[in-house]
Amino acid sequence: MVEAINDFFKDKKPNYAIQYRQKHIYSIYQKLKRKNLSLEDLQDILGIRVIVEDVAECYTVLGIVHSIFRPIPGSFDDYISLPKPNMYQSLHTAVEGPKKRVVEVQIRTYEMHERAEKGIAAHWAYKENSSTKDNSIFAWLREVLNSIKTKNANELIEAVKDELFEDEVFVFTPKDDVVVLPKGATVLDFAYYIHTDIGNHCQRAIVNNKIVPLSYVLQSGDRVEIITNPSQSPKIEWLKIVTTKKAKTRIRLFLKAKEKKWL
């Protein structure tokens, strides 16, 4: 499989790396026990990882892998668009490799790989490589810690989190998937992020088991559930509620289509 992927890239020469591994016997045993599976259910005993420069290349490589090897239905997970709670990002798919053996393929950028291997701190340490010594992550952390006058561990954690994620909020779907939105986003922005139809038919939202208005501004850690109604549709007032470009665009498109329909 590695040879086939290398042959495809031979003339294109992008900056990429390929790793491969066979799952350890004890890891197989743990997964079978944890998820109550049979050996035939496992799709990641054999695995290949392709590491590329940017997100666009991740999806390009996914298409290439699927064009060379037959994908296994229902095996695709997009953790780039919907990162795991620990900020893990990667594309996962399973394909039928040589001798009809199922092989898991992971595709990610170098930055995502660094974060997956070394933890969340690598997210900022990775960016440090292109900055000056004065702007290093360690100097920044010292400055933050020195500015926080507290001996309370919980207060310290909250303060550092505010510094790290000051421009973003991390909220959860009912299935515990993480959604990352810009600070100031509302539950209506969340609805449009999940799907245009959910946004267009959004009637109300439940945040942390409480009904909230569509204008509710999301806070990191909120668990959000959207209640839809087929008879509900976007109103011009919604443009004042949403903050994300995607939501504004979807609302405007719906209103324009509705206007043309009545002309």
128 and 146 in contact (C-beta within 8 Å)?
A: no
One domain, residues 34 and 81: yes
One domain, residues 22 and 99: yes
pLDDT of 157-204, one tens digit each?
A: 665 555 555 567 888 998 878 888 888 999 999 999 999 999 999 999
One domain, residues 18 and 104: yes
One domain, residues 172 and 160: no
Q: Output the average pLDDT for the chain.
A: 81
Lowest-confidence segment of 49-53, 150-154, 204-208, 231-235 by average pLDDT: 150-154
One domain, residues 63 and 103: yes
Q: Is residue 122 part of a domain?
A: no
What is residue 91's predicted lDDT score, i.e. its pLDDT? 94
Domain assignment of residue 10, given as a range? 2-116
Number of domains in the chain: 3
One domain, residues 68 and 9: yes
169 and 219 in contact (C-beta within 8 Å)?
A: yes
pTM: 0.48
Residue 90 pLDDT level (bands cut at 50, 70, 90) = very high
One domain, residues 189 and 93: no
- Residue 77 CB-half CA count within 13 A: 15
pLDDT of 26-61, one tens digit each?
A: 888 888 888 787 877 776 778 899 999 889 889 988
Q: Is residue 123 part of a domain?
A: no
Assign 188 to helix, strand or coil. Answer: helix
Residue 227 pLDDT level (bands cut at 50, 70, 90) = very high
Lowest-confidence segment of 1-5, 7-11, 93-97 by average pLDDT: 7-11
In angstroms, the first-to-last Cα distance of the chain is: 57
What is residue 131's predicted lDDT score, i.e. its pLDDT? 47
52 and 64 in contact (C-beta within 8 Å)?
A: no
**Is residue 144 scored above 90 in pLDDT?**
no
**Is residue 150 scored above 70 in pLDDT?**
no
Residues 6+ apart with CB under 8 A from 48: 1, 2, 5, 18, 19, 20, 103, 104, 105, 106
One domain, residues 56 and 71: yes
Q: Helix 187-194 and helix 245-262: axis angle, to 10°?
A: 80
Q: Is residue 126 part of a domain?
A: no
Q: Is residue 121 part of a domain?
A: no
User: What would the mean pLDDT of 136-156 be, rounded to a whole number?
Assistant: 59
Residue 121 pLDDT level (bands cut at 50, 70, 90) = low
